[in-house]
Each structure stands twice: as C-alpha cells, then as structure tokens.
Amino acid sequence: MSSTPTAPKNFIRQIIEADLASGKHRGIATRFPPEPNGYLHIGHAKSIVLNFGVAKDLAGTCNLRFDDTNPHKENIEYVESIQEDVRWLGYDWGDRLYFASDYFEKLYAYAVELIEKGRAFVCDLDAEQMRQFRGTLTEPGKESPFRDRSVEENLDLFKRMRAGEFPDGTRVLRAKIDMASPNINLRDPVLYRIRHGVIHHQTGAEWCLYPMYDYTHPISDALEGITHSLCTLEFEDHRPLYDWVLQNVSVPCRPRQIEFSRLNVQYTVMSKRKLTQLVEEGYVRGWDDPRMPTIAGMRRRGYAPESIRDFCERIGVTKADNMVEMSLLENCVRDDLNRRAPRAMAVLRPLKVVIENYPEGGEERLRAPNHPQDESMGTREIPFAREVYIDRDDFREQAPRKFKRLITGGEVRLRNAYVIRCDEVIKDGQDEIVELRCSYDPETLGANPADRKVSGVIHWVSVKHALPAEIRLYDRLFTHPTPDAAREEGRSFTDYLNADSLHELTRCQVEPSLAGAAPGDFFQFEREGYFCVDGKDSVAERLVFNRTVTLRDTWAKIEQEHRR
C-alpha cells in the first residue's frame, strides 16, 4: 500500500486505509458524480481532489460518472466542460467514463424486482396530496391509499408508465418503507416519475420515465463496484435510504457512503442554480468569466491546477461546516506564481516622460533578470530611449514624505535602468498632467542602488518600443462575505453583487519582450501583480491580460471595511 507523504490523512482517508489493512477490500474504487447542469466550481474541485486523489494514492480507481437523471436541466455543453475541467485539474478516469443513464434499463429491472418483492408500489396521489401525506419532522406521515395495490397491478401500471400511457404527474413509483419513520427520506420515497417530451442528451426520446437520484445513485455505485461513495453532508440523512436500496435489490456489491462537509468560500456563491442565474441574466460574461468561482473561470484568470489542488489539500476534509476565506485560495495561487512567473514591466495608466538630456533618436538595450531569485530563468533585453511611460500613480506634484515615488524636483530609479529627476510638469488646458520633463544621470545604470539616495524604484516602458495592451483587473464578485445568506435578510444574493468587480484598462503599455505571448502565458508585472494572457480575447496586435492576483494579500483590508 503506497501513500504520498504529503497527502494529509483526513478521516475518510483513514477509513479507507483501515478497510484495505483489514482486508475488507483488496482495492478501492471511488467516483466523482457531477450532474451535468452547470460548470464545475471550486467546491467540486474539493470533491475531485478527494475522490481522484485518494484513488491515485492508494492504487485504486476513480470513475467519472454523470448523474444525468434530470434531463430538463442538463445539456451536452456541461458534459463536455466537466470532462475538460477534471482533466485540466490533472486527473484521468481512463476508460471509466459512465452515465447514470447507461443504467436506465437495469434500474428499471431492479424496480420491477422491488415491486415483485412487495417493496415498491405505484401511487396515484398528486404532488400536493403527497406533501400532505408526508407528515412533518414532528408528526408521522400517513400511508397512501394506493400502498396495498397487488404486485400484479403494480407491475402492470409500472409497465404502462414506461410505455407512456400516463401524463406527467399522474403516477409515481414509490418505495414501501415506513410512513412513520422519523427520517422523512424513508417515508415511502418516490423512485420514479413521468417526464414526457424531454430529449435526454444521452438517451434521446427513449424514456418518459426517469429514476430519482436517491434510487439511482446507490445502484450506479454498486454496478460500478464502488467501494467508498463519498458525498457531501446534505446526504447524511439519505444514507439510510441509500442502504435500503442496496439491501433490497440484487446488486453485485455494497458500497459504503461517507459524507464530508461542503466547501464554501467567502464573497462568492457556489450553488449551480445561482451561478446559472449570474450567467443567464448577464451579471457576468459567461461561465468562464474570471470572476466566477468556476474551474473554467479560474483557469482563464490564470490559476494553475497545482494551486487549486494545493488549496484543496490545505483546507482538508472534515465533517464540520466550513467557510473558507478567499485569501487562502489566493495565497496558494500567489505562492505558485511567485516561484514560476517571469517578471516583466507593464504600465497600466501611462504618463509620458521625456528625458531631455538623453540624445534624440538614441536608444540602448538594457538587460533585466526574468526572476530575482531564480537565475535559471535567464535575462531579457529591454530597450531604453528618450521617451518612456511611467504609471500616473507613480507621480505626484506634491506628496507626503512617505510617498516613495516621483515628485516634482525629486529623483527616482527606473527599474533596471537609470535614476531620473523630474524637472517640469506639462499640463493641458484642463490642468491635467500630460507629460513630465525629466533628466537622467548616465552614471547610475546598474549602480548599487544604495550608492544613491533615491526615494524609490518604479517601473516603465519605452514609448517607442512598448506594445499597447488591455489589462483587466478583477475584484471580489460580491460585497458581502456570505451572499448566500441574503435570502434570510429578505433580499436576493444579486443585491450584493460588487458593481466594481471589473476594471478594464484599455490604454496600457507593456514591454516589447511580451510580443508573441500566448494565451495562458503568465507574468509578474513588477509592482502590479500576477497576470496572464486572456485565452479568449487576446490577439497578437492587441494583447489582453487578466490580473490573476495582486502581489500582496488585500483581503484583510476588505474584511476590515466590511466590519465597519
């Protein structure tokens, strides 16, 4: 039995290892069972890393199984995006790609078996009556008047339900368990319902009878030989039904369901219904909008799969409800990019600087390291000339002493280049600063910064050589740490959308070494953060970058503001 030393031993891992050690199982089999009714999000990543991770570490297998029993909400775009995202996260299901709909025929046969054993019946109560009969948490339910139908009648009706003889909502197949059970899930739960007129993405128009999740899931697990069926805590109360189904039909094995808590992350939402609403109502620009907590959004934003896996390992797996801070995820992303991202210079809000004592038409090629700590990443050439852009924010006409950038009459070092002094500020008719006139000291190239007392170091690009670019800055999608709680306050979660979550800076200038940067390439723009080339909108003539994450953690400040 092998186990990677880094994988933390969560309680599920301990159970599984114990089952292997005791010989209860010779090998383990898990599955990741998404419903193809939306894109995967960071919560799913937790489940993927757990299921695929444990299988990988313990030489087991993990199936990808689409839980596709709700055809009216599902579609093939989701089926495809889910496969892409799981693969991108670094996992491989080999030839074990399954659909619950693969088992429709078998599920039907098991339902017939239940009817024959007197453990399921066709019920004609409508939805409203069913609700009334179900009882409450404190009161037992009442038995359906159809509960004692004969096996023959049930078999006949069930066959005719499948044949399409009855309209939607007129009849269901129910398990015959216990209307007085304190667990409402055991009060004769519905196993099958009629749905006409939906075209299923896998089975087309073949079926008008669809099995419920609670019935489908245990049987699918058993048919695939799953040993440990890992799911989130809301299914804890469904476990007795999971076990009941497996006990009462002749499936080949008895998987064990184990629950763990869902991941929730602050300042975002994780329910697919809500994410769908954000996309459909145009609050974001699609499922892969870099502000979305989806895997596709994070990929486009520039998060590496390693960072997401690292995050999932760090948060661990427990049964305690958890709300994780966004800063934890961002720290994982930052740690990774700090190591791997080549450095470059980009000016987000350009202000032109003319260096008057630099020769007209002159230029030189300076060299800069691609990474301050990692020499193996090499160096690059950066052209310097008489006119450069600096960031507007790096200049003040007058500023407090702690302003470590350029001021009128003051000096600053241009990163990897010379020290300049600001001699004159040029303004337009509206009193807007349009240009700075500066002079440089030719003796300061590469000089030890300590030799010369300047207030700071700023980044820049040569006007003549720079490439125009668009840079998109993202902020949290919501202004409230738990927008999901909005309902309790009588508001909609969309009331808490952050109106300032996207800033598009369209007149940026980046250093010429970035020409040819391909979608997904990532950089640290010095002093600005980590950025990646957008996978959709960037073209060679006009690069578009997404800010992946800022250089430092900005969440503490946001939290403080929220508390105020």
Can you give the binding site for Mg ion, defined by CB under 5 A?
35
Distance in Å, CB of 101 to ligand ATP, minimum: 15
Name the binder of 263 from Mg ion, ligand ATP, none, CB < 5-8 A by kind.
ligand ATP
**Cα–Cα distance between 77 and 87 in angstroms, integer?**
16
33 scored as a contact of ligand ATP (CB under 6 A): yes
* Residue 43 interacts with which of ligand ATP, Mg ion, none, CB < 5 to 8 Å by class: ligand ATP
Q: Which residue type occupies 450?
A: A
Q: Is 96 in the site for ligand ATP (CB under 6 A)?
A: no
Residue placing its CB nearer to ligand ATP in the complex, 234 or 335? 234
- The letter for the amino acid at 416 is N
Q: Report the partner that residue 34 touches, choosing among Mg ion, ligand ATP, none (CB closer than 5 to 8 A by kind).
A: ligand ATP
Is 272 considered catalytic here?
yes
Is the CB of 35 or the CB of 113 nearer to Mg ion?
35
As to burial, measured by CB atoms within 10 angstroms (0-12 exposed, 13-18 middle, 19+ buried), residue 163 is exposed
Query: Quick one: 130 or 270, whose CB is closer to ligand ATP?
Result: 270
Among 73, 119, 262, 352, binds ligand ATP (CB under 6 A): 262
Q: Interface with ligand ATP includes 399 (CB under 6 A)?
A: no
**Under 8 Å between Cβ of 60 and 54:** yes
Residue nearest to Mg ion (CB): 35
Q: Which is nearer to Mg ion, 43 or 519 (CB)?
A: 43
Cβ neighbours of residue 169 closer than 8 Å, sequence gap 6 or more = 126, 127, 193, 194
318 binds ligand ATP (CB under 6 A): no
Distance (Å, rounded) from C-alpha 350 to C-alpha 390?
6
Tokens of 436: 């700075």
Q: Which residue type sits at 381?
A: E
239 is an interface residue for ligand ATP by CB under 6 A: no
- R_g over Cα of the chain: 31
Check if the beta carbon of residue 478 is closer than 8 Å to that of residue 270: no
Q: How far is the CB of 76 from ligand ATP (least distance, A)?
A: 15
Asked if 457 interacts with ligand ATP (CB under 6 A), we say no
Cβ nearer to ligand ATP, comparing 272 with 380: 272
Q: Which is nearer to ligand ATP, 74 or 511 (CB)?
A: 74
475 binds, among Mg ion, ligand ATP, none (CB under 5 to 8 A by kind): none
Residue 466 · residue 348 · CB < 8 Å? no
Determine the residue type at 5. Answer: P
**Residue 47 binds: one of Mg ion, ligand ATP, none (C-beta under 5 to 8 A by kind):** ligand ATP
Q: What angle do CA 153, 159, 160 make, to 5 degrees?
A: 90
The verdict on 263 binding ligand ATP (CB under 6 A) reads yes
Q: In the range 35-54, which residues lie near ligand ATP by CB under 6 A?
A: 35, 43-44, 46-47
Q: Are strands 460-462 and 387-391 parallel, antiparallel or unpaired?
A: antiparallel
State the nearest-atom distance from the C-beta of 33 to ligand ATP, in Å. Answer: 5
Residue 10 CB, shortest distance to ligand ATP, in Å, is: 13
Is 147 designated active site?
Answer: no
For position 390 contacting ligand ATP by CB under 6 A, the verdict is no
> CB 71 → ligand ATP: shortest distance, Å?
15
How many Å separate Cα 319 from the centre of its chain?
21
Residue 216, contacted partner among ligand ATP, Mg ion, none, CB below 5-8 A by kind: none
Q: Determine if 316 is a binding residue for ligand ATP (CB under 6 A).
A: no
Binding partner selected for residue 349 from Mg ion, ligand ATP, none, CB under the kind-specific 5 to 8 Å limit: none
Q: What is the DSSP letter of 146?
A: T
Alpha-carbon gap, residue 497 to 505, rounded angstroms: 21
Would you count residue 75 as binding ligand ATP (CB under 6 A)?
A: no
**352 counts as catalytic:** no
Cβ atoms of 356 and 69 closer than 8 Å: no
Contact status: 270 vs ligand ATP (CB under 6 A): yes
Q: Residue 456's beta-bridge partner residues?
A: none
The dihedral sign for the CA sequence 425, 428, 434, 439:
negative
Site size toward ligand ATP, by CB under 6 A: 15
Active-site position among 17, 35, 306, 470: 35
Out of 96, 142, 262, 340, the active site residue is 262
In the complex, least distance from residue 483 CB atom to ligand ATP, rounded to whole angstroms: 14
Please identify which of the residues 162, 171, 187, 272 carries the catalytic annotation.
272
Q: Residue ranges of the alpha helices (H) in 104-249? A: 104-116, 127-134, 151-163, 213-223, 239-248
- Beta partners for residue 547, in sequence order: 531
Asked if 389 and 353 count as a contact pair (C-beta separation under 8 A), the reply is yes
Q: Which of 452, 476, 463, 564 is nearest to 507 (CA)?
A: 463
Report the distance separating Cα 432 and Cα 363, nearest Å. Answer: 29
Apex 439 CA angle, 438 and 445, nearest 5: 125
Q: Which residue has the tokens 């003539």?
A: 541
Taking contact as CB under 6 A, which single stretch among the options 52-60, 265-273, 485-493, 524-532 is the one that binds ligand ATP?
Answer: 265-273
What would the two tokens of residue 558 be? 């946001």
Task: Please state the closest distance from residue 89 (CB atom) to ligand ATP, in A.
Answer: 13
Element housing 211 (H / E):
strand 209-211
Nearer to ligand ATP by Cβ, of 298 and 473: the residue is 298
Catalytic residue ranges: 35, 262, 272
What are the residues binding ligand ATP (CB under 6 A)? 33-35, 43-44, 46-47, 67, 231-232, 262-263, 270-272
